[in-house]
Amino acid sequence: MVELHNPVVVDLPLRGEWTVERTPADRLPSHGTDALGMRYAYDFIRTDDRNGTRVHPAGRLRWLLIGGRTRDCYGWGEPIHAVLSGDVVHAVDGEPERRWLHPVREAWCALRTARSFSTMAAVDARRIAGNHVIIRSDQVFALYAHLSSGSVAVRPGQRVSAGDVIGRVGHSGNSTAPHLHFQLMDSADVQRARGIPCAFSRYLVRRGGSLEHVQGGIPNRRERLRVTP
């Protein structure tokens, strides 16, 4: 496990049960790059209890052959909550989502975008993050990315409190399935931002068939977390 020193402890941005797909506890940088402040970023997806990472109710063969509707994925449309009180400094909405999700196509699109990082003089945040919100709390900036089109519920300059709903989970930008990409960084300018390590104040985690309480934790990859209101 990667050790993170002096992480900022915040609330989890989701409610209910979620699977951790990417985490700085697994590797650093968590997404394979320090660009765009992503060093300590997390990805959260919603899955069912079948073996593997099943984000959609379709059977395995159907999923691999034809995919399924984006809005039928388990996590799509779930509310996203502010992890800290602060001021909205950036809010983007209206970026489209693909209505039909095919795993091979989504993976190819994500790979193509990732390869283009090294050739883009200035990365287009909309292309990567899709619909997204950045909220400032003192010198910490929280980024919530890949929100559903039309779901962003805040505007720049607005004051929000921890726990407020700021949007809903979607599939916009560089996304392979509906999920929430979340990170803390030291600037609202993603071109020069550096990531800030982050832990979560309280949650339950499935371990050995039971639920354990965790406080100030950094979840591991593929752990199933549960957060109650």
Q: What is the pLDDT of residue 228?
A: 81
Neighbouring CB atoms inside 10 A of 24's CB total 27
pLDDT in tens, 146-199: 999 999 999 999 999 999 999 999 999 989 899 999 999 999 999 899 999 999
% of the chain at pLDDT higher than 70: 93
Q: What is the pTM of this model?
A: 0.93
**HEC secondary structure over the chain:** CCCCCCCEEECCCCCEEEEEEECCCCCCCCCCCCHHHCCCCEEEECCCCCCCCCCCCCCHHHHHHCCEEHHHCCCCCCEEECCCCEEEEEEECCCCECCEECHHHHHHHHHHHHHHHHCCCCCCHHHHHCEEEEEEECCEEEEEEEECCCCCCCCCCCEECCCCEEEEEECECCCCCCEEEEEEECCCCCCCCCEECEEEEEEEEEECCEEEEEEEECCCCCCEEEECC
Mean pLDDT of the chain: 91
Which CATH number, 3.30.450.20, 1.20.120.1230, 3.90.199.10, 2.70.70.10, labels domain 8-227? Answer: 2.70.70.10
**Residue indicated by tokens 């052959």:** 65
